[in-house]
Structure 1
Amino acid sequence: MSRRSGRLSLKHLNREVEGSTSLKKLSTPTKRKQEPLLELETVGRRKSLNYDDEIAFKPSVKRPRLSTGSTIKKKTILGILSSDNSDDNKESPFKENDYQSNIIPASTKTETAVKAEIKEEPAEDEAAEESEMTEVERLRRQNIEQRMKMFEELNLGELKKEIETSFTETKASSSRRSSIFSSKSSIPFGATEEVGASARDDWGSVPRNSTPVLTLDDAVHHNFVDKENSVLLEDICCSMKVKNMQKKTGMREENLSLEEFKKKMNSLTLKEHHKTKVVPSRIYSMAVCPMSSGFVVAAGCKSGAVGLWKIDPEGSEWDKAKQVCFDYHSKPTNCITFGMQEPHLMYTTSYDGTFRRGDLEKQTFTLLYETPPNRKDNHTCWHAEIEPGVFLLGVGDGSVARIDSREDPSTGTETFRCHDRSLRTISVHPETGVHFATTSSYNKEVAIWDLRKTTNNKSFSGKLSSIEFTKPLSSAFFSPVKGDSLLTTCADDTVCVYNCWDLENPKLQAKVSHNNHTGRWITNFRAVWHLQRDDVCIIGSMDRPQRKLELFEVGPKIKPLTTLKNNEYFTTIGAVAMFHPYLPAVAAGNASGYVHVFM
């Protein structure tokens, strides 16, 4: 039948159906009644027909497929199907031009008779479908079957389970030392460095080292220093004697005027051998040893390692033998200081909940305090020396512990509550020695306390005053000489100075805008004082493309003093910056564990 066949004429369907193979003549009713329209498929096109009520159309009947390339056998939807044995040469009742009239009367056959005439050929349909399958499809199915057989022979399912089990066990038992030379840490850390439960989980499950006393061989980081230089580690520590670290007041920078100090800072340069990788990963804390005969800088990193680097100011080449790294902390080392009167003593605080003292002369590392391992928020945050050998230590639950390094750690520790959550920094007033300031990121405040009025295990006792901010703070430090100013760094992109002549009523003295949004992978900026001056501070910078360190003049107003930069060797963000207390030199640490020294 032609594809142009449209609506069907009555006169071409007035033929009787003989058996199941021929069309029977259909009688035309005298009165045509409007009946629901049903669909008739003729050579891929749909037609609308009217039938009597007694004829029930069953759309569930499967329509046979029409093959192409040969004579098409006409099959109707009503079950009046032409048999494969019908005469192909018989004239088709469907003409090309006879489509003007498409409404035809239905046969008076009952539904049972129509159903009896329906013949389905599912087997022939499946055979036709199989014959129509392309060669590509057959090859594809064969390949799938071959691969499935190969997978079954290799037992890949069991092998996958064994690999997953082995990988899990290896990951749990491996140490961070296996990847110590990697400059990038795989542990993510929040942009604000909030010490929450999720952050502590990201630090890994490496247990803390609770050994009371560690020897040099136990504490040194063997994987970070080359084997040929490991024999010189003992000589490095022995060279740092107390007699070589005596202070010389004639070299103090506080004796210089601000203009003379500025000229000295502008004369500083960064040489190639004054830049080296001191610790394996991102630097969190840094301290400069107060010795006038040389330059020794200590840096603590995210993995917990603590590195020491001794620099010869008059040397012309980098000497790796004067570098050593210790590995007695299992989580970030966030605070490092040298002893107030004994500079050969190095104190370190880590988020793993331990506070240690390293005697570089005796080459021993003593555990002074550790938090209960099963207690919530058991990390330690910061420490400050209030008198020789006596420290205030910030704990993760917002409390402060008083630690006397001369006493036995097992005798107990006095603690008092200062904040609801973990604090950031502790700063002791340099003149009184009994007043100290704490910063809380959770409460967004700086609080000033009187140590004499604090009560053991009593919350918020001895509080003199507080300064509230709109966003979290990263630090607050008293000026190092007189203590009449408080320098704060806040996430609201400001560096502020508060007048603290009256500790119970501090007032804002000056502030300056500064980009403090370091992001996820850079340590938070902390503006710090020069240890011998109350009128100068230093902080890192996010400015680009030229990386630099910014120095500010602190007075009635905060004004830019100068910048330190080097186009060739200083190309990263120096997030942690520190003045040398007695020499015209500045050290800066970045997120890759490198320390740059301008001198």
Structure 2
Amino acid sequence: MPSLRTRKSKSSCSKDEQLEMKRKVSESPKQKKKMKVEKVEEEEDGSADSDLSDYEIDYAKRREENLRLNREFLSQFGLDKAKQDLLASVKKTAPSNRGLKKEKAPKEILPRRSSLRLQNKTPDGIELPPEALINRVAYTFSEPVQHLRPPAGPLEMKEYLHGSTTEENHKETCRVLTSLKMKPFKTASDDLERYAEKMSKTKVTAERVAKVVPERTFSLALHPSDTKVIAAVGDKWGKIGIWDVLCNTESRAEGVCCYAPHSRPITCLDFPVHSPEKMYSCGYDGSLRCGDMQKEIFIDVFNEPEDDDVLLRNFVFTSPHTMLVSENTGCVACVDIRTASTTAEQMYELSHKSFRTVSCHPTQPYYFCTAGVAGSVSVWDQRNLKPKKSKALCELAIGRNINSAYFSPVTGKHILATSINDKLTIYDSSEIGPNVTVKKSISHNNQTGRWLTGFRAAWHPAREDCFIVGSMNRPREISLFSVAGKKLHAFRDEDYLNSVCSLNALHPTLNLVAGTNSSGRVFVFM
């Protein structure tokens, strides 16, 4: 009979012996080698006594030397610098916090479907007595936000401040604008190449980016003064923001002052040269107002009845006292700002489709052009217009909806049109009449989509050999073109400009450009 060997079972071991056994089993060869290297380092430092053999000590030293040589070899190819550059390129710059502070919107309570039980009705729809409502949950529905048009007549500016704008900010903004002295600017004298070289040196910094209005922008204007840089934008819900770009006073919210004189999108803004202390604005609420910074009021210049739901799209001065206003009804209104009446002096029904822009010839102001959803640019002679059924001097068909069409600002020998068919079209209008022809057609991606304001290419106010327009290119940019169709410069900055600037404007005398995106921010390159 074979003898039986007695073996100590695992259960009979003490707890400390079991932990020691697990530790020995779990130690991998790599861990053991690491412990040996640490012991070598401790021995070299004199912090511990070595129990390693000479071979193990020599192996650890040669390994450390090989690692050092490998690091030096790889550093010769600049891999460390390339790694740092790559990390820096993917790092996104946070949006600018200058200007208006974001307000926390109230949480919207969505409506819920109400069952017959909650309506206190039987499955057949028969009304039950009120006693049946006991112990049933009552649901409340939030009313939709209504944007009512401000009342007609003059409005006190301080009563229509918006957001974080204080009365102190308003007072300082009015003081700055009323102190500006303005002379009619002359036509630019330097050639196009020199001007493009100057503009290529402009830059945007963190101090030149600010949130000026709370919502998506629909209009942009630069004050023509050369002593101050003032930008104004209008947004989706009737807010106008005025930004003193070079103001560094924190108490003025970095120079931003916001008002609410309208209730719907503001589609056109202008600081007229003949009245630099005034700012004119019109919008979808059917009103055109003048912000008089000296009197600190918004004057009601022209309005359509609110119940008619007429949208004012654009206006242009034909003289210091008269202007033309385009409407979505296909009408153009002639308004005299000297009269106390808020109705038009004359209303011309020119089309059965909506107009978007109206532009006046700079030297022959009785000529003006309109553009809109009809897909053509029409040139008119105001002297021959009738209230109804007037005939245009010429119809320049493009084929798709047109965002804008403007006469060149100096001689009016060009018309610049921006259309949805991905074209920037320049017409030769040196001779007004049927002879107006296409001078240059430039391919340009104008597909901004539903959530971005449409591009509207804009002339330089003091020269007609170049214009500016937004771009869908990546990295984001603002494009400067010559009248010959050549791209002169792309205003870019991957740190601060990371969005599409739909609306842009060039200053008449200073080498700067301002652009605005659909979140209410303004970017200034100077």
Assess same fold via TM > 0.5. Answer: yes
Residue 591 (str. 1) matches residue 518 (str. 2): yes
Which of 445, 449, 452 is residue 515 of structure 1 equivalent to?
Answer: 445
Matches within 5 A, 1:401-550: 401-410=333-342, 413-441=345-373, 443-455=374-386, 457-461=387-391, 463-505=392-434, 506-544=436-474, 546-550=475-479
Distance 1:230 1:245, change over 3 A: same
Alpha-carbon distance between aligned partners in 2 of 1:432 and 1:414, rounded to the nearest angstrom: 19
What SS does the aligned partner of 2:174 have? helix
What SS does the aligned partner of 1:290 have? coil
Alpha-carbon distance between aligned partners in 1 of 2:499 and 2:406, rounded to the nearest angstrom: 26
Summarize deviations over 1:299-339 as a string: whole Å, max 9, x none: 001111010001228x6999625211110100000000112
Residue 560 (str. 1) matches residue 496 (str. 2): no
Summarize deviations over 1:184-241 as a string: whole Å, max 9, x none: xxxxxxxxxxxxxxxxxxxxx42211330011212322x243xxx5423212212212
Please name the residue that 2:226 is paired with.
Answer: 292
Please name the residue that 1:219 is paired with.
Answer: 160
Residue 159 (str. 1) matches residue 138 (str. 2): yes
Say whether the 8 Å CA contact 2:212–2:243 is kept in structure 1: yes
Alpha-carbon distance between aligned partners in 1 of 2:313 and 2:265, rounded to the nearest angstrom: 10
Alpha-carbon distance between aligned partners in 2 of 1:340 and 1:460, rounded to the nearest angstrom: 32
Matches within 5 A, 1:311-330: 311-312=245-246, 320-330=253-263
Which of 170, 180, 187 is residue 233 of structure 1 equivalent to?
Answer: 170
Alpha-carbon distance between aligned partners in 1 of 2:170 and 2:260, rounded to the nearest angstrom: 14
Alpha-carbon distance between aligned partners in 1 of 2:135 and 2:455, rounded to the nearest angstrom: 52
Amino acid of the structure 2 residue aligned with 1:390:
T
Q: Which runs of 5+ in 1 are unaligned?
A: 1-151, 175-204
Distance 1:448 1:387, change over 3 A: same
Amino acid of the structure 2 residue aligned with 1:231:
E
Matches within 5 A, 1:383-402: 383-402=315-334
Say whether the 8 Å CA contact 2:470–2:478 is kept in structure 1: yes
Alpha-carbon distance between aligned partners in 1 of 2:328 and 2:426, rounded to the nearest angstrom: 27
Alpha-carbon distance between aligned partners in 2 of 1:157 and 1:370, rounded to the nearest angstrom: 50
Say whether the 8 Å CA contact 1:210–1:367 is kept in structure 2: no
Alpha-carbon distance between aligned partners in 2 of 1:412 and 1:543, rounded to the nearest angstrom: 42
Amino acid of the structure 2 residue aligned with 1:566:
D
Which of 264, 281, 290 is residue 357 of structure 1 equivalent to?
Answer: 290
What SS does the aligned partner of 1:374 have? helix
Say whether the 8 Å CA contact 1:273–1:316 is kept in structure 2: no
Alpha-carbon distance between aligned partners in 2 of 1:326 and 1:283, rounded to the nearest angstrom: 14
Residue 274 (str. 1) matches residue 208 (str. 2): yes
Which of 274, 285, 288 is residue 341 of structure 1 equivalent to?
Answer: 274
Alpha-carbon distance between aligned partners in 1 of 2:452 and 2:343, rounded to the nearest angstrom: 39
Matches within 5 A, 1:298-309: 298-309=232-243
Please name the residue that 1:21 is paired with.
Answer: none
Say whether the 8 Å CA contact 2:333–2:344 is kept in structure 1: no
Say whether the 8 Å CA contact 2:238–2:266 is kept in structure 1: yes
Residue 247 (str. 1) matches residue 183 (str. 2): yes
Alpha-carbon distance between aligned partners in 2 of 1:476 and 1:272, rounded to the nearest angstrom: 33
Alpha-carbon distance between aligned partners in 1 of 2:348 and 2:441, rounded to the nearest angstrom: 32
Say whether the 8 Å CA contact 1:589–1:596 is kept in structure 2: yes
RMSD (CA atoms):
2.1
Alpha-carbon distance between aligned partners in 1 of 2:273 and 2:210, rounded to the nearest angstrom: 27
Say whether the 8 Å CA contact 2:302–2:343 is kept in structure 1: no
Please name the residue that 1:210 is paired with.
Answer: 151
Alpha-carbon distance between aligned partners in 2 of 1:586 and 1:317, rounded to the nearest angstrom: 24
Say whether the 8 Å CA contact 1:419–1:440 is kept in structure 2: no
Offset at residue 159 of structure 1 (A): 1.3
Count how many residue pairs are aligned between Structure 1 and Structure 2: 395
Say whether the 8 Å CA contact 1:578–1:587 is kept in structure 2: yes
Say whether the 8 Å CA contact 1:240–1:344 is kept in structure 2: yes
Offset at residue 364 of structure 1 (A): 1.2
Alpha-carbon distance between aligned partners in 1 of 2:462 and 2:253, rounded to the nearest angstrom: 30
Alpha-carbon distance between aligned partners in 2 of 1:393 and 1:224, rounded to the nearest angstrom: 33
Residue 257 (str. 1) matches residue 191 (str. 2): yes
Amino acid of the structure 1 residue aligned with 2:500:
I
Alpha-carbon distance between aligned partners in 1 of 2:400 and 2:507, rounded to the nearest angstrom: 31
Alpha-carbon distance between aligned partners in 1 of 2:138 and 2:410, rounded to the nearest angstrom: 68
Alpha-carbon distance between aligned partners in 1 of 2:155 and 2:467, rounded to the nearest angstrom: 37
Distance 1:211 1:321, change over 3 A: farther
Amino acid of the structure 2 residue aligned with 1:447:
S
What SS does the aligned partner of 1:234 have? helix
What SS does the aligned partner of 2:393 have? strand
Offset at residue 459 of structure 1 (A): 2.6
Alpha-carbon distance between aligned partners in 2 of 1:292 and 1:408, rounded to the nearest angstrom: 33
Alpha-carbon distance between aligned partners in 2 of 1:412 and 1:565, rounded to the nearest angstrom: 43
Say whether the 8 Å CA contact 1:353–1:371 is kept in structure 2: yes
Offset at residue 244 of structure 1 (A): 2.1
Alpha-carbon distance between aligned partners in 2 of 1:332 and 1:410, rounded to the nearest angstrom: 20
Say whether the 8 Å CA contact 1:245–1:290 is kept in structure 2: no
Offset at residue 263 of structure 1 (A): 1.2
Amino acid of the structure 2 residue aligned with 1:488:
A
What SS does the aligned partner of 2:196 have? helix
What SS does the aligned partner of 1:512 have? strand
Say whether the 8 Å CA contact 1:285–1:334 is kept in structure 2: yes
Alpha-carbon distance between aligned partners in 2 of 1:425 and 1:405, rounded to the nearest angstrom: 20
Say whether the 8 Å CA contact 2:328–2:356 is kept in structure 1: no
Alpha-carbon distance between aligned partners in 2 of 1:598 and 1:316, rounded to the nearest angstrom: 20
Distance 1:523 1:412, change over 3 A: closer
Alpha-carbon distance between aligned partners in 1 of 2:263 and 2:396, rounded to the nearest angstrom: 34
Summarize deviations over 1:167-191 as a string: whole Å, max 9, x none: 2xxx24x5xxxxxxxxxxxxxxxxx
Say whether the 8 Å CA contact 1:424–1:474 is kept in structure 2: yes
What SS does the aligned partner of 2:357 have? strand
Alpha-carbon distance between aligned partners in 2 of 1:232 and 1:206, rounded to the nearest angstrom: 25
Alpha-carbon distance between aligned partners in 2 of 1:410 and 1:367, rounded to the nearest angstrom: 7
Say whether the 8 Å CA contact 2:180–2:276 is kept in structure 1: no
Amino acid of the structure 2 residue aligned with 1:508:
V
What SS does the aligned partner of 1:510 have? strand
Alpha-carbon distance between aligned partners in 2 of 1:273 and 1:472, rounded to the nearest angstrom: 37
Summarize deviations over 1:329-387 as a string: whole Å, max 9, x none: 00000000112311111110100000001111221111111112233x51211111100
